[in-house]
Amino acid sequence: MPSMYIERISRPSLFSRLDVRVKLFIMFLASTLIFVWESVIYQCAMFLVALGLALSAHIGPRYIRRLVITMIPFMLLVLLIHGLFNPQGQRVIASVPEWVPLLGGRVSLYWEGLVFGGMVLFRILTPLLVLPLVVMTTDVNDLMLGLVKIRVPYKVAYVFSVGLRFVPFIFSEISTITEAQRLRGLAIEKMGFIKRIPVFASLAVPLILGALVKAQTLEIALQSKAFSGSAQRTFTNDFRMRRIDYLALASGVVLFFGAILTRVLLNWGAFVS
Amino acid sequence: MSKQILSIEDLSYRYPKTAEFSLHDVSLRISEGEFVAVMGSTGAGKTTLCLALNGIVPHFYGGDFFGSVRVGAMDTVDHPTHELARQVGMVFQDIDMQLTAPTVASEVAFPLENLCFPVDEINRRVSAALEALRLKGLEEKHPHQLSGGQKQRLAIAAALAIRPTLLVLDEPTSQLDPVGAEEVFRVTRRLNQDHGITVIMVSHASEELAEYADRIVLLSRGRLEADKPPSDFFQDIDFLLEHGVRPPAVTAAFSCAFRGSSFPGRYPVTLAEALEQRASVLSKLEAGSTSASIADGPVHSDEIVIRTRDLHFSYEDGTEALRGLSVDIRRGDYVAIVGQNGAGKSTLIRHFVGLLNPSSGAVEVFDRNTQDYDVSTIAQRVGYVSQNPDNQIFTDSVRSEVGYALLRLGMPKDQVAARVEQSLEELDLGDVAGMHPVTLSKADRSRVVIAAILAMKPEILIFDEPTTGQDYQGSKAILELTRELWRAGKTIIVVTHHLYLLPGFAERLLVMGKGRLLSDSNLRSGLYATATLEETYLNPPQLVRFVESFGDEALEKSQPLTPDELALTMAAD
Amino acid sequence: MSTVQRGTRRQITGGGGAKIGGAPISYVAVFTAIVAALAFIPASIVIGSAGGGWPLHDAIHPLVGLVLGPIAGPIASIVGILIGNAIAPYTSLGPWSFVMGGMSAFAVAMVTQKNRSAWLLPWVIVAALHVVYYFQATNFGISPGMWFSNAFAVTLGLILIAIPTVRKFYTTHLRDQSLGWRLGVALYIPFFFGSVAGMQALWVPSFATNPWPAEVWPVLVPIILLERTIFPLIGTLIALGVIAGLRRSSIAKPDMASY
């Protein structure tokens, strides 16, 4: 079972000190620029920048290794499928020998396909890395205030914070419920797929009903703490954009429009192999 | 006369879609600096009363509201809850759901931020509140990383930081272990005495309230039945029991011992008061026989059903939970396992059903190593009732719940039906068999879970904290059920913090501390081994402390455990 | 009650508490946490997911929409998935998974609203995305026939919801207080639509990120069909239990809930 918390990186770094709004903009860049380019080099460069940021922000190599290692089967699959079948494929790297029945001589691995597959991988990895990067280096209260400052309604931002707070709680509920099922003699791990479905369903029912009963309690607690959902409140962690934030934001904006213009006008970042 | 800060006049309240009134013609006044306790059984209206103090009742729930509640100058019906929140600090029973912020410091700051205090002021108050509740140094912790007692103190800190006129605590200790409960009682008392904060506390802890409260209010079926200082409140024991309230053990003992005879003055309600009455007790002791020996439970078989040998267990994070534990449970035992939180009680019993596997050493259940078979197989012979019934109910009727697992285990339908009916009957659930479990009370939902586990016909039944969160009657009912099952031949293992509930039920006591077995004896000598109990932060029952502090050899030797036994030792005239 | 209250009856203005789209914020937060936590529980291993397998939360979004309504439902789903992705990105369905959850919850909430034309909004959005996806796929060299066999479940969902009798059937039985197989069917239809709507919404950005070549498509046909049949089924089973409990308990119903 993975850690139930978002690991907080408390060691300060240049990145972690950036204004939340700048970090959110970087997140926006990471999830849009990947569509602009089709070049593996551009995509790889962007991933390396994200990786560099992550390492500079003291995100443990262990965390990154786990992200990458867990995804290896998927990554191999992507490479293989694109290597074999992508319509870009021209130069043959290897072929299935003639003597193999059915596939012999018909299936080949193409260089361009592999390159395309590689580009796809970076496209997926970059935003997957940047989201935890931003969240792990930011205090939840700061993140909430940052969202409010970019006009996300306070109530929605608050849902993020309080939702996060209760993830470990829901986890322990799930484990007590599955435990209760085993204690009734039900061995889910031994059941076939079809039998497993109703058991899965009966796990979720007490989980959700129980959580809704608890939600009433939460509602009462929130009201007792004078919560009204209004953004008209004090934020003890108020912050302002500093020079470095404006600088980072400006370069981000330049990068964003620059990338689109150069792609459209000069065809930079087109597919290469 | 100090300033009156709360006045409730003829308050009646009914939740929407219900026929009965939860509060009926309740009138109550509280002055600045008072510590007022509220007692009563589940469903007496205690929580509703608390929620009426900051307007959650009626603003959030709706319903029918009569009379008035005034906090300071504010009428709760005319002011919304977020305004009343400035006057009334609330602490609830549920230690998890009332903490809503990601860190300790922001939890305390949260209500102040909502009330638009300036930043400097908030920081000052957060720091002061954490200081007062001894939570300094934990500012950046996630609430999930705190102990139960710390969580509850954090909730109090958050309520306190508002500097409310009134601090309301609704069963703040019922989900805590004895150490945590004591922490909460201690700080609440300090806040009341040293800082003059007015406190309203709902609790079942008679002994503590007798010592701390200025007044105790009794609610029963929504009506205010009594409002007296503790020394008066606990005098009429039959009246209290009738309303589901347990008197302090010494009061019960004195009332038992001196029943019918003329007791000079009033029964003591605290240990100190009881010891002051030494003279009258002594005269009784001399008059009576000192050899009141009360027979322990029936002799059981020698067959060992659970055996652990040098059991060690460490959790993934390296915490050593069990450090070399060897114990035998025999068929027909009724064993209570006690110890502070973290002593390893739950870790131990989880080994009994194979939920955990030893790091070293072995656990044998019915002469087979638990590692050789899985939980679901063991579960059919060893029933394990875990704490919260709501996490163990999977279907939408009591009857189908009891048969739920049997059907999935492939038992023929008619056989399941027979087992279900038998189980329902044993637990007296026949009348509610067709109902949805959510419509039952918590005590009844626990019975449904027990019925479902009984339907598998296990030979051993393990109960993990069955009395936590239950009122006196609920706790008694569950323990009486365990006794019946024991008499029917089941082996019973109960894990609990509530030592005072055990006499009359358990016959063997295992005391655990820091992963080791500190003692294994019969209940009587176990409860009188007070040094061992204190080593694992358990308070011996008040009656035991009384006998020990009393300093009479003969009385100590007879080791009475219940008011009746004490009375017997002191002998009737 | 025959007894008379001594106090005078008070007028209660009611309300209070913060709500999002008619749902108490605490409910939204709790569902958010549930979605985030379920993101870690793999329900099946399929090609579509990024790493560890298809997370179980996929089955829950229709119910989230049904209980919380068309505004709070998608918020809980989206925020929940984002939290899940932030804690453990390797168990997620890739960076775009929040689109799927949000759309599932939204679609179900809208097609079960009392308002008779509410269904049209998600329907039009999904239909539009369906067309976009067609052009995405055919531009990449996927034949129209192959596209159709793959996206068939979505087409089916769109057709089903467009039929007034079908809508009338499930809306009637959803509001009917009885439980049982009729309610099950009445839940399954909108849940199926929600499930395929979410899938369709996910496909567009996913295909832009990673266009699977034509050779892979035939393999995906049975998988997609199986998944889109099974997940709403799990969702329905859960919903039946949850609704049975909700209707009998004192838990207040959110204003835009459809149960």
Virtual torsion, Cα A218, A224, A225, A229, nearest 10 deg: 70
For residue B157, which of B182, B186, B191, B180 has the smallest C-alpha distance? B191
Cross-chain residue pair C6–B77, CB shorter than 8 Å:
no
List the 158-187 stretch of A: residues with Cβ below 8 A of B.
161-162, 164-165, 168-169, 173, 176-177, 179-187
Place of tokens 């996060």: A164
Q: How many interface pairs between B and C have CB atoms less than 8 angstroms apart?
A: 71
Query: What percent of chain C lies above the pLDDT cut of 90?
Result: 61
Mean pLDDT value across chain C:
88
Confidence grade of residue C55 (pLDDT, cut at 50, 70, 90) = low
Q: Are B503 and B527 in contact (CB under 8 A)?
A: yes
CA distance B61 to chain C (A): 7
Q: Mean pLDDT lowest for which of B473-487, B491-505, C43-57?
A: C43-57
Top CATH class, B304-542: alpha beta
Euclidean distance between CA atoms B296 and B200, whole angstroms: 42
Cross-chain residue pair B376–A190, CB shorter than 8 Å:
yes
> Residue A3: what pLDDT?
53
**Structural domain span for residue C226:** 22-248
Interface confidence, given as ipTM, is 0.91
Residue A82: list chain C partners with CB under 8 A: 213
Cross-chain residue pair C33–A132, CB shorter than 8 Å:
no
Which residue of chain A is at minimal alpha-carbon distance from C142? A87
Euclidean distance between CA atoms B123 and B106, whole angstroms: 10
Q: Mean pLDDT lowest for which of A81-95, B257-271, B428-442, C138-152?
A: B257-271
List the 146-185 stretch of C: residues with Cβ below 8 A of A.
none
Cross-chain residue pair A217–B355, CB shorter than 8 Å:
no
Which residue of chain A is at minimal alpha-carbon distance from C52? A70
Q: Please return the burial class of B12, using the count of CB atoms within 10 Å of its CB with bins 0-12, 13-18 and 19+.
A: buried
Taking residues A233-257, report their average pLDDT.
95
Confidence grade of residue B14 (pLDDT, cut at 50, 70, 90) = very high
Residue A206: list chain B partners with CB under 8 A: 390-394
Which residue of chain A is at minimal alpha-carbon distance from B93? A217
Confidence grade of residue A193 (pLDDT, cut at 50, 70, 90) = low
* A94: Cβ contacts below 8 Å, ≥ 6 apart: A108, A109
CA distance A8 to chain B (A): 10
Residue B462 phi/psi, 5-degree rounding, is: -115, 130
Strands (E), chain C: 19-20, 23-24, 42-44, 54-55
Partner residue opposite B396 with nearest CB, options C6, C9, C241: C241
Whether the per-residue pLDDT at B451 is higher than 80: the answer is yes
Query: Which of A134, A212, A222 has the highest number of chain C CBs within 10 A, making it the mutation to test binding with C?
Result: A212
3-state class percentages of chain A: helix first, strand second, coil last, to nearest 5? 65, 5, 30
Whether the per-residue pLDDT at C15 is higher than 90: the answer is no
Euclidean distance between CA atoms B267 and B287, whole angstroms: 20
Q: Are C183 and C173 in contact (CB under 8 A)?
A: yes
Euclidean distance between CA atoms B355 and B377, whole angstroms: 11
Which residue of chain A is at minimal alpha-carbon distance from C60? A204
> Residue B299: what pLDDT?
55
Confidence grade of residue A230 (pLDDT, cut at 50, 70, 90) = confident
Confidence grade of residue B50 (pLDDT, cut at 50, 70, 90) = very high
Whether the per-residue pLDDT at A202 is higher than 70: the answer is yes
Residue C83: list chain A partners with CB under 8 A: 6, 160, 163-164, 167
Cross-chain residue pair C7–B21, CB shorter than 8 Å:
no
Is residue C103 a part of any domain in this protein?
yes
Cross-chain residue pair C26–A1, CB shorter than 8 Å:
no
Q: Are B172 and B94 in contact (CB under 8 A)?
A: no
Confidence grade of residue A4 (pLDDT, cut at 50, 70, 90) = low
For residue C88, which of C62, C53, C63, C47 has the smallest C-alpha distance? C53
Confidence grade of residue B1 (pLDDT, cut at 50, 70, 90) = low
Euclidean distance between CA atoms C16 and B57, whole angstroms: 11
Cross-chain residue pair A227–B409, CB shorter than 8 Å:
no
For residue B552, which of B210, B282, B324 has the smallest C-alpha distance? B282
Q: SS in 3 state form for B131-147?
A: HHCCCCCCCCCCHHHCC
Taking residues B44-52, report their average pLDDT.
96
Q: What is the DSSP string of B378-447?
A: HTTTEEEE-S-GGGG--SSSHHHHHHHHHHHTT--HHHHHHHHHHHHHHTT-GGGTTS-GGGS-HHHHHH
Q: Are C196 and C203 in contact (CB under 8 A)?
A: no
Cross-chain residue pair A209–C60, CB shorter than 8 Å:
no
Partner residue opposite B102 with nearest CB, options A161, A214, A222: A161
Whether the per-residue pLDDT at B298 is higher than 70: the answer is no
Whether the per-residue pLDDT at A248 is higher than 60: the answer is yes
> Residue B571: what pLDDT?
59
> Residue B449: what pLDDT?
94
Whether the per-residue pLDDT at B420 is higher than 50: the answer is yes
Q: What is the distance, to the nearest Å, from the Cα of residue A140 to the centroid of all Cα atoms in its chain? A: 17
- Under the phi-then-psi rule, with left for phi > 0, alpha for psi from -120 to 50, and beta for the rest, what region is B476? alpha
Virtual torsion, Cα C253, C256, C258, C259, nearest 10 deg: 0
Euclidean distance between CA atoms B280 and B550, whole angstroms: 12
List the 35-74 stretch of A: residues with Cβ below 8 A of B.
none
CA distances A263 to A31, A123, A266, B213, Å, are: 17, 17, 6, 77
Is residue C213 a part of any domain in this protein?
yes
CA distance A187 to chain C (A): 16
Confidence grade of residue A1 (pLDDT, cut at 50, 70, 90) = very low
> Residue C47: what pLDDT?
34
Q: Where in chain B is the domain with CATH 3.40.50.300?
A: 4-236, 304-542
> Residue C148: what pLDDT?
94
Partner residue opposite A236 with nearest CB, options B123, B355, B379: B123
Q: Are A111 and A91 in contact (CB under 8 A)?
A: yes
> Residue C46: what pLDDT?
38
Domains in chain C: how many in total?
Answer: 1
Taking residues C71-85, report their average pLDDT.
95
Q: What token pair was written down for B358?
A: 């030893």
Is residue C5 a part of any domain in this protein?
no
Is residue C15 a part of any domain in this protein?
no
Is residue C259 a part of any domain in this protein?
no
> Residue B293: what pLDDT?
44
> Residue C32: what pLDDT?
97
Q: Please return the burial class of B93, using the count of CB atoms within 10 Å of its CB with bins 0-12, 13-18 and 19+.
A: buried
Q: SS in 3 state form for B347-373?
A: HHHHHHCCCCCCCEEEEEECCEEHHHC
> Residue B288: what pLDDT?
52
- Reduced to 3 states (helix: H, G, I; strand: E, B; else coil), residue B477 is helix
Residue A158: list chain C partners with CB under 8 A: 25, 29
Taking residues B410-426, report their average pLDDT.
92
The conformation of residue A266, written as its DSSP 8-state character, comes to I
The verdict on A192 touching C (C-beta cutoff 8 Å) is no
Euclidean distance between CA atoms C109 and A144, whole angstroms: 27
Euclidean distance between CA atoms C99 and C204, whole angstroms: 10
Whether the per-residue pLDDT at B286 is higher than 70: the answer is no
Confidence grade of residue B240 (pLDDT, cut at 50, 70, 90) = very high
> Residue A201: what pLDDT?
81
Q: How many interface pairs between A and C have CB atoms less than 8 angstroms apart?
A: 210
* B563: Cβ contacts below 8 Å, ≥ 6 apart: B249, B252, B253, B255, B256, B257, B543
Q: Are B17 and B40 in contact (CB under 8 A)?
A: no
Confidence grade of residue B367 (pLDDT, cut at 50, 70, 90) = very high
Euclidean distance between CA atoms C10 and C27, whole angstroms: 29
Euclidean distance between CA atoms C219 and C46, whole angstroms: 11
Cross-chain residue pair C83–A208, CB shorter than 8 Å:
no
- Polymer length of chain A: 273
Residue A219: list chain B partners with CB under 8 A: 60
Q: What is the distance, to the nearest Å, from the Cα of residue B139 to the centroid of all Cα atoms in its chain? A: 29
The conformation of residue A109, written as its DSSP 8-state character, comes to E
Torsion sign, CA atoms A223, A229, A230, A233 = positive
Euclidean distance between CA atoms C197 and C106, whole angstroms: 9
Q: Mean pLDDT lowest for which of A19-28, A120-129, B493-502, C51-60?
A: C51-60
Q: Mean pLDDT lowest for which of A90-94, A146-150, A249-253, C134-138?
A: A90-94
Tell me the pLDDT tens digit for each residue of A43-99.
Answer: 999 999 999 999 999 988 888 888 888 888 888 989 999 999 888 888 998 888 888
Mean pLDDT value across chain B:
90
Residue A187: list chain B partners with CB under 8 A: 374-377
Whether the per-residue pLDDT at C44 is higher than 50: the answer is no
> Residue A203: what pLDDT?
85
Tell me the pLDDT tens digit for each residue of C203-247.
Answer: 999 999 989 888 888 888 888 888 899 889 989 999 999 999 998
List the 35-74 stretch of C: residues with Cβ below 8 A of A.
36-38, 40-41, 43, 47, 49-52, 56, 59-60, 63
Q: Are A65 and C45 in contact (CB under 8 A)?
A: no
For residue B338, which of B524, B520, B561 has the smallest C-alpha distance? B520
Tell me the CA end-to-end span of chain C in Å, nearest whole number: 32
* Beta pairing partners, B369: B364
Helix H or strand E encompassing A164: helix A154-183
Tell me the pLDDT tens digit for each residue of A148-158.
Answer: 999 999 999 99
CATH of domain B4-236: 3.40.50.300
Confidence grade of residue B455 (pLDDT, cut at 50, 70, 90) = very high
Q: Cα angle vertex A57, ends A52, A59, to 5°?
A: 90
Euclidean distance between CA atoms C174 and C168, whole angstroms: 10
Whether the per-residue pLDDT at C3 is higher than 80: the answer is no
Confidence grade of residue B474 (pLDDT, cut at 50, 70, 90) = confident
Q: Are C211 and C174 in contact (CB under 8 A)?
A: no
Query: What percent of chain B lies above the pLDDT cut of 70?
Result: 96
Is residue C11 a part of any domain in this protein?
no
Is residue C131 a part of any domain in this protein?
yes
- Reduced to 3 states (helix: H, G, I; strand: E, B; else coil), residue C6 is coil
> Residue B287: what pLDDT?
57
